[in-house]
A and B are shown apart, each in its own frame.
Chain A
């Protein structure tokens, strides 16, 4: 048996599984977005671009897009600030640093349902610790505050990703760069701006890309925040609305059209992002 054939044989099961359970569903999803299709029954009827037209004419869709953008942009910005600050702190030498690092990244590996119930308990309007400390009964799950609560939980859960990526990069910056800057008389802030930030540029590029994709398509955190009486319509982001169209209204075709639109928006945003990044680099 030739090496090439052995290679193919070993890769084959993985490829078949990916083809059957990832590539095929994605293609099939695009296909059923052109049909009026019930989520549970096999009947379907071709409607062309009907689903897309219905989605674009739906006010709720635009509202959910707006909420989704507010949610993802805010959480990404906060994750970046907190994640980079935390990485800078945890890159310094101090006793117990290893443990501090482990504790700081732990929220990232916690099941979302646990993150949500912990914060729902902390933010409980009647018996929650936060309201006790504030001394005023803020209705954290009510219409005015639920987006803020959702953002708090999400940032808490996902900033460690930024922390991890940045910390790993910081560890590889040659100390000589800082020594040279210090000799030249640069203070801490100028060392950060002129030495650290340029070195972090490439890792931040990837981090922003991944976080944008994952926050814009985040389903479980907002969904679980709504459960058990939240002001649902005030955090109904695009992924939530897509899910409801499919599994509450049983419109699999229209749900798929929304998923496709979500994907196209991500591709467009990513293309723009790469474009501006290249231009920056050329300057």
Chain B
């Protein structure tokens, strides 16, 4: 009886979460006429790549893809470069205002983009950073930073002080102690934080929508939204676009899902 409830509950849950993805993937591989047949076919009669081919030949999907990769990668590198030393300092040095900084970081973390996007846009316009990928990277870095700091701080806190103190006593300089003792231990945390940052930058719509106007600068979420709006919807092509955008997310998700299930970092995507 109890097994029965469990089994049916989990089945309903998995159907609800997974079926939409299955349907998207099936549509992406169907030929145009099959997409609109009644009754609909669950699996494609014959697999075709014509939708993907159309996506790359008739739209600027490849350009959007390049932009997304570039912007997300730069955001990850810049965020980690700024957040890692700061998080280390917040856990290792006593200085005035340390606790206040941590509290302020948590507070900014709760801001939603819509509450800052207007003045942010005006500011970027004044700095002549609208319509540039650099401006977008800065926006994402600012948006990811509070959470990155928070995650890295908990990671550094979990590394025992004794280890680096021993290294310092043995005559190592602090940079050497950090490089050879602390960083190797903190590496999983740094990689996980980088992954959350990547997903946030890869998925964002609103900043890219507001800050970019030129078609050749658009990232994937904005590019796909505009493809959808452009004319009569080419469902096979749109579904193949959705599928391709998800591939990198799926790849990094495999790595972070164990952190998520352990209750760690689920606020990272912030949505």
Question: Interface residues, chain A, CB within 8 Å of chain B?
Answer: 3-11, 13-15, 17-18, 20-26, 28-29, 32, 39-40, 42, 85-86, 89-90, 92, 94, 100-114, 117-122, 124, 127, 129, 132, 156-158, 160-161, 164-165, 167-169, 171, 188, 210, 213-214, 217-220, 223-224, 227-228, 239, 242-243, 246-247, 252, 255-256, 259, 262-263
Contact = CB atoms under 8 A, between A and B. Distances in A.
A248 B95 CA distance: 47
B93 A6 contact: yes
Interface string B215-237: 00000110011001100010100
B77 interface: no
B260 interface: yes
A118 B49 CA distance: 19
A4 B242 contact: no
Nearest to B221: A113
Contacts of A89: 6, 9-10, 13
Interface stretch (B32-40, B52-60, B185-193): B32-40
Contacts of A7: 89-90, 92-95, 98
B179 interface: no
A228 B94 contact: no
B225 A22 contact: no
A220 B117 CA distance: 13
B84 to A, nearest CB: 9
Contacts of B93: 3-4, 6-7, 10
Q: Which of A103, A117, A127, A188 has the most CB of B within 10 A?
A: A117
B116 A25 contact: yes
Interface string B3-24: 0001101100110111011011
B138 interface: yes
8 contacts: A8-B89, A22-B108, A22-B146, A108-B271, A112-B221, A113-B242, A217-B114, A224-B205
Given A14-B83, A165-B266, A171-B263, A104 B110 contact: no
Contacts of B119: 25-26, 28-29, 32, 256
Nearest to B230: A228
A65 to B, nearest CB: 14
B260 A220 contact: no
Top 5 closest pairs, chain A to chain B, by CB? A168-B263, A7-B93, A21-B142, A217-B112, A29-B119
B110 A25 contact: no
Interface residues of B, number: 95
B13 A118 contact: no
The listed residue with most A CB atoms (<10 A of its CB), out of B10, B18, B122, B141, is B122
Given A11-B86, A29-B118, A164-B260, 8 more contacts: A15-B86, A17-B141, A17-B142, A108-B269, A118-B21, A118-B239, A164-B261, A168-B263
B24 A92 contact: no
A164 B235 contact: no
A177 B10 CA distance: 25
The B interface is mostly helix, strand or loop, or mixed, namely helix
Contacts of A188: 2
Nearest to A103: B18
B145 A210 contact: no
A111 B221 contact: yes
Contacts of A18: 104-105, 108, 142, 145-146
Given A117-B238, A164-B263, A255 B118 contact: yes
A221 to B, nearest CB: 9
B13 A102 contact: no
Contact of B225 (A224, A256, A263): A224
Given A6-B89, A14-B82, A24 B123 contact: yes
A124 B205 CA distance: 23
A111 to B, nearest CB: 4
B70 interface: no
A206 B146 CA distance: 18
